[in-house]
Structures are given as C-alpha cells and as structure tokens.
Structure 1
Amino acid sequence: MSTTTITFIVSAFVTFFTVIDPVGLAPIVVGLTSHFSPAQRKVIVTRAIFISAGIITFFALVGRFLLDRLGINLYAFNIAGGAMLFLVAVDMLFGRSSGTRETKAEEEEAMTREDISVFPLAIPMIAGPGTIATTILYVDLAGPHPLDLLAVAAAIISSLFVAWMVMRASGWLIQRVGKTGILVLSRILGILLAALAIQFMLNGLSLFAHTNGFIR
C-alpha cells in the first residue's frame, strides 16, 4: 500500500467523522426527542441512520452526474441546508408544541406527521450539505481505484455506526438531566443551531462569491 493511498484513507475517515460529527448529534437528539418514549426514540434514530445511508449512497453513485445535468452548484446545498436548520432552531427556541397525543393511534399519527428521523436528523443533520458535498468530492477523488472507493465506503459506514450508537445513548442523558434540564438545553441548543444555520448559509454565499468571481 503506497503512502498516497494511506494518506487518502486517513483523510477520508477524518473528514467524514468531522462532517457527520457523531458526538455532536447527542444533544440534538436529546432536545428533539425528549417527548418521545424510549421505543419511539430507538425507531427514530435507527430510521434516521438508514435514511441517511440511502441519501449518501444515492449521491455517491449519481451525485456528480445529477448536479452537472441540473446545473446545481454545491454551494446551493449549504444555503438550503442552513435555511432548513434555522427553522428547527426557531422551534426549539420558542418551545413549540409537538402535538403528540396520548392514545396509541394518535401517537402513531403524530410520529408520521412529525417524522424527525427524516427532518432534521437525516436531513440536514447527518446527510446534510456538508456530507453530500464531501461524498461527491471523495468519490471523484477515488476515481477508478477500488481500494480508495472501499476506504470512502468504510469511512461513511463507520461514521454512521458511531452516530447511531451516540444517538441511542442520548436517552441516558434525558434520564440524568431531567425535564427542566431538557428545557434549558433545548433553548441553548436553539441558539447554537441558529448560529450553525447562519454559518451554513454564509459558507454557501462565500463559495458562491468566490465561484462567480465576486471575491478574489
């Protein structure tokens, strides 16, 4: 195995772990799923991982082709993802009601209507603009080299597995922190998420400016 290959493998693992940020997902899950039962939380977390894996796989296979054909630039993902994340931050800051009902049928209906496994967990928290852009970039860099492509796949799978483990353990935090702590944490996270959302959009705008020659 050449030095170049080793460097690429290490780079892929470090980059995907940084972009997906498994550890950083724990407090987000705590804030978003505090009103769900442990069984519901387990289903939500597992579903989010599978949905994220499907999205990442899709863009790994046809991402570059699709973007080129549609004329969409990568900075558009940063701006769109930031806008969606900002909406989540507003809900957390103002503590908006989830609408969860008490009966089993109503709880299932609420789970369908408020499927946070899709948004915001899978999109944009896990398979967000950064992850999608990173996936397309590393698949392009790997090119026709099987070992490099395998390294990219291994980096994605391991990052998603760690994210799943961390989010599953978030229930332990809820039990230790309590309802009051969750309310405080949700407000703090709302502020942090709002800042993160703005940063996503600023990154997209900055990339747009550089790409189109507005900034040298």
Structure 2
Amino acid sequence: MFNIKDTLSVTLILFSVIDILGSIPIIINLRKKAGHIQSGKATIAAGLLMILFLLFGKSILSLFGIGVEDFAIAGALIIFALGAEMILGIEIFKPDPDATNSASIVPLAFPLIAGAGTLTTILSLKAEYSQANILLGIVINLIIVFVVLKSTNWLERKLGKTGVDVLRRIFGIILLSIAIKLFKSNLFG
C-alpha cells in the first residue's frame, strides 16, 4: 500500500546509500578518462538494475548460488579499487578505446550508483516497506542522480582543479572506508 511517509523514508535511506553527491569527484574523474558520460544511459541502467533487484534480487542471486553477502563483498572490492585510484592516482579501470560509452555503465551505473550497498539495501527494505513505496523511492533517487550527472561540468568549473583534486582524495578515503566496512560486515556477518 502506498504511503507518503514510507516513501520519504525509503527515498532518504536510498539517497544516503547511493551518495550521488559524494560521488561527484569520482564522476568527474571517470568523465576525464572516458571523455564523456551519458547521464541518461547511466541513470536508466542503474534504474533497471535497482528495479530488477527489487523484483527478483534474491532469486537472481540464488540462481547462481550467490548469497547477498557474497554480492556485497564483490561490490566492496570494486569500490575499494575506485577509492585506491582516487587516492593514489593510479589507473585500474582503464578506458576501452573501442567502447567509449562503457564508463556510463561500469563503473558508474554499477557499482557506483546501483552497487552492492544499494542493491542489498533494496532487498532489506522489502522486509519493512511495500514494493510500491520502494519503487517510488527508487524513481525519486534516479531523478536526483540524473540531475547531478548532468551538472558535473558546472560543478567542476565552480570547484576548480584544486577543489576537485582535494575532493577526489577525500572521497577516495571515504570510498575505501565504505569498502572495508562492507567487506567486514559481510565477511564476518
């Protein structure tokens, strides 16, 4: 059953897990490597992943014999690699010259927007909220994601090179911390 308070709760929970505002330095960094990020394509891909996980998440994972914890650990490793890139200035995710649009899907749509944290959160929310409220919360977050993705050029101009570099390193450390927390909580349970 649809409930505004529940939808607002789901929206805020997903907003904090997706952390699109905190991902701005990562998005700017990906755009520099890939040349261009397709905001619409990334948003739609992330949205499809989230909705598929809402509807079929546990079934999909169990089909492959994968638990939610295993999925979260895999996502943690990718997030760790992104954080290491940002802090150390190394290149782990090398742009594929034959697939200039691939950065819009990996690592942007997955695991950055619709990563292990987001997808496992969606599975957890099903225990407490109705599917309609979760779906609306996902859609609201996708609108926010799209607006932020479209605004990264403007934000980069406002922050300047030094501002972006400082933010990239700070959020790199935060990403490493999130990855370690995800890894520990899902490994040791």
Q: TM-score range by the shorter chain?
A: 0.7 to 0.9
Distance 1:48 1:111, change over 3 A: farther
Residue 21 of structure 1 and its aligned partner are, at CA, apart by: 2.2
List structure 1 runs of 4+ shifted beyond 4 angstroms.
97-100
User: Per the alignment, in what secondary structure is the counterpart of residue 32 of structure 2?
Assistant: coil
Residue correspondences, number? 188
Aligned to 1:79: 73
Aligned to 2:107: 120
Find the aligned partners of 1:68 and 1:141 in 2 and give their Cα distance.
21
User: Per the alignment, in what secondary structure is the counterpart of residue 17 of structure 2?
Assistant: helix
Map 1:15-164 to 2 at 5 A: 15-34=13-32, 40-41=36-37, 43=38, 45-96=39-90, 110=97, 112=99, 115-139=102-126, 141-142=128-129, 148-164=130-146
TM-score scaled by length of structure 1 = 0.72
Residue 75 of structure 1 and its aligned partner are, at CA, apart by: 1.5
Identity of aligned residues (%): 29
Contact 2:72 2:120 in 1 (8 A): no
User: Per the alignment, in what secondary structure is the counterpart of residue 110 of structure 1?
Assistant: coil
CA deviation vs aligned residue, 1:46-82 (integer Å, no higher than 9, x gap): 2211111111122122212223444422111221111
Gaps of 5+ in 2: none
Find the aligned partners of 2:173 and 2:49 in 1 and give their Cα distance.
28
Quick check: 1:192 aligned with 2:174? yes
Distance 1:111 1:166, change over 3 A: farther
TM-score scaled by length of structure 2 = 0.81
Q: Which amino acid aligns with 2:116?
A: P
Contact 1:93 1:191 in 2 (8 A): yes
CA deviation vs aligned residue, 1:136-185 (integer Å, no higher than 9, x gap): 2334545xxxxx33221110000011011112212112113333443443
Q: Which amino acid aligns with 1:123?
A: F
User: Per the alignment, in what secondary structure is the counterpart of residue 22 of structure 1?
Assistant: coil
Once superposed, what is the RMSD of the aligned Cα atoms?
Answer: 2.8
Gaps of 5+ in 1: 101-108, 143-147, 208-216
